Structure 1
Amino acid sequence: MPEGHTLHRLARLHRRRFAGAPVAVSSPQGRFADSAAVVDGGVLRRASAWGKHLFHHYGDGAVGGRVVHVHLGLYGTFTEWARPTDAHLPEPVGQVRMRMVGADYGADLRGPTVCELIDESQVVDVVARLGPDPLRTDADASRAWMRIAKSRRPIGALLMDQTVIAGVGNVYRSELLFRHGIDPYRTGRGVVEAEFAAAWADLVALMKIGLRRGKIVVVRPEHDHGPPSYLPGRPRTYVYRRAGEPCRVCAGAIRTSVLEGRNVFWCPACQT
């Protein structure tokens, strides 16, 4: 599943490609056709992201302004293409839920969990259900800390709970806990405030790198050796998807288990 930095990169890209001008919006697949017709030809005012949610804001920004809300889920993806100089647009490939066409570029959305038309008041409702987003300048880390400090749930589960912190996925969850020596099964109440503050600052820095570079970078230079990434083109990690392999720091075996329905990875020697 794309993590928060991916959605912020998409919001930034769509602002550059489409904002400030009319956008042709359609649904070749047909599932979004009625809603697409409402915003088709409208001016995209801005694109924004909060956690794993992407918002395309059309109209004048009033409470009733139209907003396309997208959550990519596990399989959603945007494919961008340059608009041809002639009048012939490329034929949609696969099940394209939404197609956006601007003056110079087009983008096709396939496989999202959510693609819906809402208004600005409903955006407020969506955001109200989410925790602070480390990539937003208005993020209030204390909101997350208050939830974590009172919880008996494992910290590894709390970090993946989008109502606690928005935008963290399995890679950042596992890698952040390793970088700070915290066992994923330690309860939220067992994490001290100084540990949380250091982890939050590190998370902000790591996600900013992901936003800037378009890929997750979590391994420190002094540990960037040993076995390669778990798959070609994937990030080199300390623990994520490295079960049974030697830890890059202590050489002990990396472990994995299922925590609240998702695989978690950790080093028992380095994380206490």
Structure 2
Amino acid sequence: MPEGHTLHRIARDLRAAFAGRVVSVSSPQGRFAAGAALLTDHEVVEARAHGKHLFVEFAGERVLHVHLGLIGSFTIDATAYVGERPVIGQVRCRIAGDRHVADLRGPMTCRVITPDEEAAVHHKLGPDPLRDSDGEPAWERIHRSRKSVAALLMEQQVLAGVGNVYRCEVLFRHRINPMTPGERLKRSSWDLIWADLRRLLPLGVATSRIVTVADEVAQIESALAKGEDVHLDERTSYVYKRTGQDCDRCGSIIKAKDVAGRNLYWCGNCQRRS
């Protein structure tokens, strides 16, 4: 499932392509025809994300609410197109302006809602490191829970936008035992997690990849600060999907275990901190 940085990147690209423009909205697949009819020939006001939810606001207090789920994608032309663009695959919703086309395929959620209904969705979600500066609401839920910190980081009502890759990597980066119950997690450890997510997720937006290895992170931050092109190595993570391989830090074997419905990867030797 796409993690939060992907949705924020899509929202950024939708704003750049369509904000302030009247667009046509259609459903080539047909399953969103009624919703498309409510949005077509209206101006796009804004596009925004909260966690794994995307909201495209149209004039007339109409909001397109999208959740990509496991297989969804939302592609936007990187450059202006000329003439009619053919429909490829099962396009649930197409947004077309005078210069760009965006195609939504395979979403879990694609519906037109009101601003009040959007507010209700936001209310159910925890803070988003790409959207919110304050992680206190997440901490309030975490330190009252007996669930493991690894499970809690995957609950969107606790922390929005963080998925399995960021979960595994941020816990490794700070040597935190993923099985530590939330009620036993130190406040200082949570502050490190929150600050690190606030650092790493923007790099995901900028590069469209999850990068957590320290040297790579530093190189990307330097390149972005200088306005230079970003070049990524093949290796961008420490433990994710590295079951049975040696830990870079200590040489122990990386472990894997199902936690909250997804495979958690961690180093039992390095990650002892509670």
Query: TM-score, with normalisation over the residues of structure 1?
Result: 0.91
Partner of residue 261, structure 1? 261
**Counterparts in 2 of 1:71-220, with a 5 A limit?**
71-81=67-77, 82=79, 84-86=81-83, 89-136=84-131, 138-220=132-214
Partner of residue 14, structure 2? 14
Deviations 1:214-272 (A, max 9, x none): 21110112999xxxxxxx99762111100000001111100001112111000000001
Shift of 1:122: 0.3
Instruction: Give me the CA root mean square deviation.
Output: 1.8
Match of 2:65 among 63, 69, 74: 69
Indicate how the Cα distance of structure 1 residues 2 and 28 shifts in structure 2: closer, same or farther if over 3 A, else same: same
SS of 1:178's partner is helix
Distance 2:237 2:270 in 1: 15
Distance 2:203 2:182 in 1: 26
**CA contact 2:143–2:185 (8 Å) conserved in 1:** yes
Amino acid of the structure 1 residue aligned with 2:114: D
Partner of residue 51, structure 1? 51
Amino acid of the structure 1 residue aligned with 2:188: A
Indicate how the Cα distance of structure 1 residues 19 and 71 shifts in structure 2: closer, same or farther if over 3 A, else same: same
Give the unaligned 5+ runs of structure 1: 225-231
Give the unaligned 5+ runs of structure 2: 219-231
**CA contact 2:5–2:201 (8 Å) conserved in 1:** yes
Deviations 1:61-96 (A, max 9, x none): xxxx1000001111111223355433xx22211110
**CA contact 2:154–2:260 (8 Å) conserved in 1:** no
SS of 2:42's partner is coil
Partner of residue 229, structure 1? none
Indicate how the Cα distance of structure 1 residues 235 and 104 shifts in structure 2: closer, same or farther if over 3 A, else same: farther
Distance 2:9 2:261 in 1: 28
Shift of 1:55: 0.4
Deviations 1:150-187 (A, max 9, x none): 10001000000000000000000000000111111111
Amino acid of the structure 1 residue aligned with 2:123: A
Indicate how the Cα distance of structure 1 residues 93 and 235 shifts in structure 2: closer, same or farther if over 3 A, else same: farther
Indicate how the Cα distance of structure 1 residues 234 and 264 shifts in structure 2: closer, same or farther if over 3 A, else same: farther
Indicate how the Cα distance of structure 1 residues 239 and 151 shifts in structure 2: closer, same or farther if over 3 A, else same: same
**CA contact 2:211–2:217 (8 Å) conserved in 1:** no
**CA contact 1:223–1:249 (8 Å) conserved in 2:** no
**CA contact 2:14–2:76 (8 Å) conserved in 1:** no
Query: TM-score, with normalisation over the residues of structure 2?
Result: 0.90
Distance 2:44 2:205 in 1: 22
Aligned identity (percent) is: 47
**CA contact 1:223–1:248 (8 Å) conserved in 2:** no
